[in-house]
Structures are given as C-alpha cells and as structure tokens.
Amino acid sequence: MDVSLDLLVNAIVSGLLLGGFYAAVSIGVAISFGMLDIVNIAHPAFILLGSYVAYFANSVLGMDPILAAAIALPAFYLLGMAVYQVYYVAFERRNDQSLRSLAFFFGLLFITEVGLVLAFGVDYRLVEARYIGPSLHFGIIDLPLRLLVPFLVAAAMVVGLQVFLSRSFLGRAIQAVAQDQLALRLMAADPIRIKRIAFGLSFATAAVAGAILIIVQPVEPSIGREYIGRVFAICVLGGLGSFTGMAIAAIILGIVESLTSTFFGPSWAPAVAFGVLLVTLAVRPSGLMGR
Amino acid sequence: MANSSLTVANIDAGYGAVRVLEDVSLSVGAGETVALLGTNGNGKSTLMKSIMGIVCPSSGSISAVIDGTTHELVGRSTEEIVDLGIAFVPEGRRLFPKQTVIENLLLGAFRPAARSAIRRNLDFCLETFPRLKERSRQVAGSLSGGEQQMLALARALMSAPRILLIDEPSVGLAPLLVSRTIDKIKELKEGFNLTVLMAEQNFTQAIRIADRGYVIVHGRIAFAGESAEALNNNDLIREFYLGA
C-alpha cells in the first residue's frame, strides 16, 4: 500500500480532533464512574438529549448549537442532581447499588431514547452553523472547522473541570468522596451533597458534549449506544479518577481509529481501538494514569 | 487561651439492641488533655463516636462550649459537629488512600472557618511533621503506619479545631513510634491551644501527657482520676494495666 505523507499527517490531525470530541463525550462518565463509582450507562442518552436541545434551538430559533448548550447547562445540572437524588433514595441508601442500579440506568437510557424518538422521530438530524463546512489549510494539513471548533470547546471544558477539581475545596471533596464517606464527613463535608453536585456536573457536560456531537455528525436517537462501549473504554484506559489520563486515552483512541479507518477501512477501527485498550490494560492494569 | 470544653452527661448508647454505654458522664475542661482509658471492647470508641454524631445516644446529653458559645451535640450530624470546631482522628485513621499527602491535608481544611488560616496551618503541620513534607506528593495509601498516623493527626488539625478527639493513636505502631506520637500530640495541643480527649489502651504512654483521666469498664465510667498520680495509684489500673 502506498502511504503518502499528507494522508498520514491528516489522519493523525483528524484523529487528534476526534480525540478531543471523545474526551468531551467521556468526561461525564469520568466523573460519575471514575470518581463516584456510579455506573451511569445512560450518559450517552443524555448526550443525545443535549444534541436534540441544540438541534431544536438551532432549527427553530436559529441559535448557535454551542450557545444553546451553554444556556441548557444549568437545566442539565439540575436534572443530574435530581437523577442522583432518585438513585440515592432508591438504591445507594439501601446499599444495593450494583445490579439494580444498572437496571435503573438502563431504564433511563431507554426512556430517554424513546422520548427522543417520540419527539423528533428516527430520522437523522443536523445543525447549521458558520463553522460547519469550511476548513483551514496549513500546507498539507487540513483543519475542518466542523472538528476544530468541537475540539477547542472540549479542551476548554476538560481543562476547566480539571482546574476546578484540583484547586477548589469542592473539587477535592468530589475526588475523595468514593474512597471514604465517613472520613469526608469528618472533614465537615456532606458526602451526599458532594455526590449530588458532582453528578449534576457530570450531566452538565452532556449538554456540551451533545452540542458537539451534532456538530461533528448528524444524529438519530439510538446513536448514543455506539458510544457506551467507547466512553467506558476511554475512562478505563486513562485510569479511573484521572482527567489527564482520560484526555490522553481519548486522543489515543481518536488517532488509532482515524489511522485505521484511513488505511484499513472504517470497519476495522473499533476492533483495533479496543485491541489497544486490552494490550494497555494487560501492561498497566490501572490504566495510563490510574492511582 | 483555650476556651472550649466538652461535657458528656448520663448518656446511653449502643448498636441496635446491644447497649454499649450505660449512664456515662465525663467532662473535658478548657485546655485540658483528658485520657479515656480502657481495654478493647469497653466502649471507648462508641463514646467517641457518640460525641461525633456517628452513633446516636438513646438518652443523655452531650454539649460543647466553643469559644464561649454552648452547643448541644446530640441530634447533630457529624459534619455539623466538625464544622463547630471539633475534630476527630478515628480508629484506623480513615485517610483518603488514593489522594496525595497534600490533598489529604487540604481536604482537612474543608470547613469554611478553616480556609482563612490554611496557609499558616499547613506550614505548621509540615514543620511539625517533616516526614509529611518529604512525602507531600505521595499517595496516602503508600505511607507507613506511623506516617499515616501523623497524616491523620495533621489532617484533623487542618480544620483549625478547638477540641480534638483522638481514638487510639498508638494502635498498630512500634513502641518507639507510640511515644513519639504521644509527644507530638502534646506539641500540637500546645501549638493550637487545643482541648484534647484521647482514648487509649496504652496507659503508661497516655498518662505522660494527660492532666487527668477516666477508666471505662464494660460501658461504665469505673473511675475518674483527678490527676495522673491518682490514676497511677488506682486499683483498677493496677489490675488492668500494671498486672499487680
């Protein structure tokens, strides 16, 4: 096979941009699964909800999808707090999280999906914005704005949350809450309140990730399922509890998928990406940056 | 000067149908170090947990005076009690094993009243425990037992408490470390103007820094020694600790 340089470089660049998008999709799960030990498999469905909010605001009101996400953010935050409260009262407080809570989040996944189907139908939907279409060119490198803008938004979100989690009292409590709840209470922090806030944040990221998703590709309600495996794989590969690891894992996965689909065809991409996950975990069982 | 004190009056407490404490009363005066002595299973930890709101007493009252204001503690949540200015170093230390030494210390300063003094308290803790400074970027789970006990003490002090409760600081430590830990507690108590209640099995070590003490047997206060001397000469102590 003839591997031309510009094909290789562009595959890496678009992989990098794709990785940024994956980081935005995964960051909510990095909080809920990585820091709170809550297996919220419904997260991709709420990302889809975010996509449809952006779609609605864009098609009806002509609003920019990212602006729509910013406006929807507080509502997603409150929704996340409410979902955690239900989860807490129904499962966590009674100490039978594992299997039943999985059923709970599966239920949420399907309810959200069906709700979206009823409201918007099963056709693919897309948004319009000035940055969808044109590309920047630097020598042999093509930078499609459709991928670059989501990458920048994702990067800002990951860096912002990382700073919040490592520099603020609330953020440090969120990182510690799953390790020892009594110890956290002895630090004068209410673990339930801390988890509620963290879960709200996790949902708030879905608003942004949803807007980014519908900019990157057209969506239909069940598309979120494609991301469930990928999102959890990214969190495990990066190391649970580490945002930096998660971001690196997202970019590795993006680049590997992009290279594979450029040179071997798109159908190989998931297989190779998960192969990378398995090999990494064999060498480093706690992930790239897991503690 | 320390102006915070603790009074436990006639409490009964236990777990479900099992009653562990019966009619227990004790007091810790402002600036005092009081030892709560007793062997395993006599209710020392349960008493500590009752004060901290982890176990709810079925009757009796627990009150604390913090900077001149009296607060009833029974019925308050653990986080509210800590927020008043009462810190607790629990049995088993309860560190956050995956967080670094520094992250553990900063979490100690979560309560709003502690945040303004965070720099000064952090410097004080790292100065008092140079070992923690050396290992500040290491995760707490990788520390040795003695280092973990130091971190647990330092983390409790980061909350800028007025009253400090310590449950069995000597457990699991080598004899030399035990006496060092006890010395550190005295040093910290003086540095922070604390009022201290310390549960301990190691009578000889505890009595070195305690002003007075209580002996708890089968969930009752069996003896209240008004001085270290009185404890030393007590028959119960002789029977339980000194083997005489």
Q: Which residues contact A175 (CB under 8 A, 6 or more apart)?
A: A35, A165, A166, A241, B99, B103
d(CA A154, CA A173): 24
Looking at residue A153, its pLDDT comes to: 96
B240/chain A closest Cα distance in angstroms: 32
Q: What is the mean pLDDT of chain B?
A: 91
pLDDT of residue B134: 95
Regarding whether B190 and B154 lie in a shared domain, the answer is: no
CA dist., res. A86 & res. A78, Å (int): 13
What local confidence, expressed as pLDDT, does residue B241 receive?
Answer: 64
Question: DSSP secondary structure string, B163-208?
Answer: EEEEE-TTTT--HHHHHHHHHHHHHHHHHHT-EEEEEES-HHHHHH
The per-residue pLDDT for range A113-168, each reduced to its tens digit, is 999 999 999 999 999 988 888 888 888 888 889 999 999 999 999 999 999 999 99
- DSSP at B104: H
Residue A224 reports pLDDT greater than 90: no
- Whether B103 and chain A come into contact, CB under 8 Å, resolves to yes
Contacts of A183 in chain B (CB under 8 A): 90, 94-96
Whether residue B77 lies within 8 A of chain A, CB to CB, comes out as yes
Pick the closest to residue A156 from A166, A146, A148, A167 (CA basis): A148
pLDDT band at A96 (very low <50, low <70, confident <90, very high): low
- Residues 6 or more apart whose CB falls under 8 angstroms from that of B234 comprise B215, B223, B225
B169 and B142 in a common domain: no
Verify that B50 and B137 share a domain, yes or no: no
Q: What is the pLDDT of residue A273?
A: 78
Give the pLDDT score at A274: 83
d(CA B70, CA B219): 26
CA distance readout (Å), B7 to A12, B67, B73, B190: 68, 15, 10, 21
Domain C-terminal end among B105, B133, B160: B160
Residue bearing tokens 């049995």? B91
Q: How many CA atoms lie within 13 A of A212 on its CB side?
A: 28
Q: Which residues of B touch A175 (CB under 8 A)?
A: 99, 103
Q: Do B226 and B173 have their domain in common? A: yes
B172 and B146 assigned to the same domain: no
Q: Give the minimum alpha-carbon distance from B180 to chain A in angstroms, rounded to a whole number.
A: 24
Q: Is B33 exposed, middle or buried (0-12, 13-18, 19+ CB in 10 A)?
A: buried
Q: Which domain holds residue B225?
A: 1-85+164-244
Question: Among A1-15, A22-36, B24-38, whose mean pLDDT is lowest?
Answer: A1-15
Whole-number Å distance between alpha carbons of A76 and B38 = 53
Q: Do residue B96 and residue A183 have CB atoms under 8 angstroms apart?
A: yes
The angle that helices A191-216 and A65-90 make with each other, rounded to 10 degrees, is: 140
> Which has the minimum average pLDDT: A100-104, A253-257, B30-34, B59-63?
A100-104
CB atoms A182 and B108 under 8 Å: no
- Last residue of one domain, picked from the residues B140, B160, B180: B160
Q: Is the pLDDT of residue A99 over 90?
A: no
Give the phi and the psi of residue A202 in degrees, each rounded to 5: -60, -45
Angle of the B145-157 helix axis to the B118-128 helix axis, nearest 10: 150
**CATH code of B3's domain:** 3.40.50.300
Q: How confident is the model at residue A2 (pLDDT cuts 50, 70, 90)?
A: low
B1 band by pLDDT with thresholds 50, 70 and 90: low
Q: How far apart are the first and last CA of chain B?
A: 40
Q: Are residues B63 and B98 located together in one domain of the fold?
A: no
- Predicted confidence at residue B229, as pLDDT, reads 79
What's the half-sphere exposure (Cβ side, CA atoms, 13 Å) at B123? 3
Whether B216 and B148 map to the same domain: the answer is: no
Q: Over pLDDT 90: what percentage of chain B?
A: 73
Is the confidence at residue A49, as pLDDT, over 90?
Answer: yes
pLDDT digits (tens, 9 = 90+) for A275-284: 888 888 888 8
Name the closest residue on chain B to residue A175, using Cα atoms: B99
Q: How confident is the model at residue B110 (pLDDT cuts 50, 70, 90)?
A: very high
To the nearest whole angstrom, how far is the Cα of A176 from the nearest Cα of chain B? 6
In this predicted structure, the answer to whether residue A261 has a pLDDT above a threshold of 80 is yes
**What CA–CA distance (Å, rounded) separates B104 from A173?**
10
Domain regions of chain A by residue span = 5-222
Q: What is the mean pLDDT of residues B155-166?
A: 96
Beta bridge partners of A48: none
* Residues B72, B9 share a domain: yes
Q: Locate tokens 């190691």: which residue?
A: B202
Give residue-wise pLDDT tens across range B62-109.
999 999 899 999 999 999 999 999 999 999 899 999 999 999 999 999
Q: Do the chains contact at B110 and A187, CB–CB below 8 Å?
A: yes
Domain final residue pick, B109, B139, B160? B160
Dihedral angle sign, alpha carbons of residues A26, A32, A34, A40 = negative
Environment class of A164 (CB within 10 Å of its CB; exposed 0-12, middle 13-18, buried 19+):
middle
**Helix (H), strand (E) counts: chain A:** 11, 2
Side-chain half-sphere of B219: how many Cα atoms within 13 Å? 15
At B219, give phi and psi (nearest 5°): 80, 10
Q: Write the Ramachandran bin of A132: left for phi over 0, alpha for psi from -120 to 50, otherwise beta.
A: beta
A66 neighbors A130 (Cβ within 8 angstroms):
no
Number of domains into which chain B is organized: 2
Q: Which residue has the higher pLDDT, A3 or B53?
A: B53
What percent of chain A lies above the pLDDT cut of 90? 67
d(C-alpha A213, C-alpha A206), whole Å: 10
pLDDT in tens, A154-166: 999 999 999 999 9
pLDDT at A88: 92
Whole-Å CA distances, A232 to A25, A101, A123:
10, 17, 27
